[in-house]
Structure 1
Amino acid sequence: MLKRIQALVAAVALGSAAFVALPAAAATAADAPPKPTGLTAAPSPVVVSSDAGTTATFTFKTGDTGSARLIDRNDKSVPLTVTGSSGTYTAQYTFKFSDEPGVWKLEAKATKGSESSVETTTFQVHWVTDLDFDATPDAVEQGGAVTLRGALTYKEGSAWKQYDGQKVYIAFKPAGGSYSRVDSATTDSHGRFSVTRKSWKTGWWRAEFDGATDTQPSTSDSDRVDVKASSKATRISGFDAYPEPVDKGDTLHLRGTLEIGSWKSWDGYKGRRVEIFFKADGGSGWRYVTSDWTDSHGRFYADAEAQASGWWRAEYDGSSGIKGSTGAADHVTVRAPQPAPRAATRIIKFDAGPEPVKHGRYLSLHGKVQVWDAGWEGYGHQKVSLWFKKAGGGWKYVKTTWTNGSGKFWTKAKAVRSGTWKAVFGGDDEARGSASRQDWVRVKH
């Protein structure tokens, strides 16, 4: 129901001037009675905070017969019952959540005979607002970031609703001082706002809303943030994970130096535990692997087994008055162990016969598979496939046979058409594949 202040500027600017020109005052100045005076609305603004509503009292003065009405920002008219006689008139009206908030007009009329004159004044009807606010963290080091967030709501009936598009101010009060505004934010579609500031002094933070033409101002509760003196800094330098690349299962060496000081001077930090973390390529998080204690020069040495490619880094958690630190990550590629080279093979003495052969008769297909092992020798008990290709066609699988203990194989196939035959050994874990020579066979019909 709330309308934003930008939409009301035109209505406020028009004010009473727009009502001076109403037809009710069309009589000539000589005939019309004097305009009512002393138009007031109390309280002002009228604040509606509960379903019971808020009663406002309206007064005006005229020496003639008086009447009045209220007009909301949508030009809805609410007639008033006035009491009194010539002199001062009074009327009351109870505003509830069913009434529009924002700018209203009180229109008072003086009537004398058949002539009348009108005067108007404006007042505002407000709904209450509330600011929820939080400053985090509760304690920071000097110069540390503080997040100041909250939400602005307004009350309509028994419900609190999100108040978007409103300017909220951030105020700070140092210990022993007073509040001053240091920043501002505009509420989003959920009425929320958030600001991040550096904190240099211990003190209290709060949010402030100045209100609008249809809502009351509000101020949040205060939230204290304690500022502590800065801790000493540390850093991890020269971190290295090697060798790179490394074979899977081999040892990876992780080295670096933990130092304490500032940008002007850094010294090795001895006797401190440095932890080593790993994140695999494509992984979403770091996992702890191992750790080491620094020597008198701040150096640490750790080893780990290489299992997967990814990133390695070293971390120091810090201690009282000492900041922790994280070193730069180092990527290591882990390779799969290289398999032993496979031996060469060959198929010799391959023959498909007889040639020519009559259609429907069987062909004899035989040859020998050999493997190189300081010389060629028969490769026994291996699978050999037979393939056929007709003229102008492609190779098609026909059948499979096995070599005997000396590497020889023999099988037969029915002769259907003329074409080329070959034998293929596909290879295995120890030997590479190979193919025989091609043998042409003519089939007679």
Structure 2
Amino acid sequence: MRRVLNLWAAVLVVLCVSATAEGTVLAATRAETTIVSYEALVESGSRRTFYDEPFRLIARVSSDREISRVEARLYAEGASDPALSLTDFTRTSASDGTSVWRSDRYVDPPVAKYRVEISAVDADGTRTDRVMERPLHKRLKINLVEVTTDRSHADVEHPDVTVTGRLVHIDGEGTRQPVSEARVNTGNADGSTAVTNPDGRFNLRTRIAPENPSLYLWTSPGAPYGEAYHTVNAGYRLVSTRLFAEVSGSGVIGEKLLVRGRLRRWTGNGVGTGIAGMTVVLQFWEASGRAGVAHPVKTDADGDFEFSTITTGVGEWRAYFNNHGAAPEAPGYERGFARASTPAAHRTAVSGMTFAAQPTAAGDRLTVKAQIRRLKADATWSPVSAGPMSLLFSPDGKRWGVEANGLTGPQGFVSISARVPRDGFWRLDYDPEFGNDFSARSAVRYVNVKHRTSITGFDASPEPVKKGRMFAVQGQLKQYFSGTWKPLSGATVHVYFKANGTSKWTRMAAVKTGRYGGFHKPLKASRDGAWLVTYQGDSSCLGVRSASDYVDVR
């Protein structure tokens, strides 16, 4: 009997221990996992409230346990089976118990409103599911196409433009389909809008503001369509003007002088039409730099003006349009300025111009020397000291730009240096803003320079290579143009080989560079040696030689 009681006591102890152990497991802290949020990301990187292009999902999961897997399912509205399941999530970051998971592929489900369900599985296999409150809307992608304006730009005389275009979406066969009855908005202050016709086309008239010449079109037809945006740089320009002025008279102080000129609306093709009723201010500037009285005059029906006065001294008459305080502004028109020297001013000349250190490559420095002289009343020439000089360059002899400036010395000599950008014409200008000298311009000199070239990335590979097998030399040919290195296409590059133990380079092949300056020439390996390529140059580019690359032939 005692042995039976002892056995029962042992069983009770075991049961108590087991119960205690089970109770510990049940009392253990349960892992907490929460699907915090999700969002969809399109390929362009933007996040939206609806999606009209392929996207991938990003889920944020908070858990005190390691999350091993995240999945997502998209259910079309009213459907019990998922239209799309995503199981290819990768963790992209983790911090303070929250991890971010992103699906590896972009998906493009059919147009619908989707319920999103996300699941997270921890390292122990515990699964947490959540149906997200925010649905995902997939809509048809629409585009504003064939957008044009009836004018290349607007101006103060023609502020309105007509914008036409078409609103379409692409069907499953890749064909454009019209979107009708959609309102296209401009976003302009005048509130211009238009509604698309059955073919998706629209036509609207709007006014371009000078402070905002870009025309912003947008439309949001609503489901099942997305939104479309389009920016048209309609352009707003000031009316281009040209102001001309001239003087006639003996140039003798105290005698009559007639100042006349023209204000033209310039069309850009060398033809102008007169601008009537505008105020032009005429003002005489003495050689000492002192300005005379301003005389406002009105242009006539043909845009012409004239003013009769008396010659008061050596200097010049200046004409101002839209940039002088003596006359009201003319909004929407370019400023105009013209000057006309009186015959009483001194004649000057640029003489003895020489080119020192003439360059051979673009980017080298060119030094131009000359002397500026003034013709005096006794018909003798005297040097012009402290005279402002400009060294100008033109690629075609027509369009000129200042490259450097300088002042003449006590004897009228000047030396100005500038870097040479390319082949072209050079000249020196003497153009004093004040004083009693006429402007002077040197003879034009043409300088023929060449662009530097460079061979980059040259390589002979693979290396080592077995005898008789093919390998290739490749690289890129560039030219230094307008301050930067650019590919040189269509040029012939010569391939040279120097056998191991010799000093002679032998031409082996020639290859033309491609569109981006690259070249690639397959060759058959015959013996050890070094390879290089050369470009011999042409009328505009200097030649260049690459570094050599040794190929071990086995």
TM bracket, shorter-chain basis: 0.3 to 0.5
Larger strand fraction of residues: 1
Tell me which of the two structures has the higher relative contact order, counting C-alpha pairs closer than 8 angstroms and 6 or more residues apart. Answer: 1
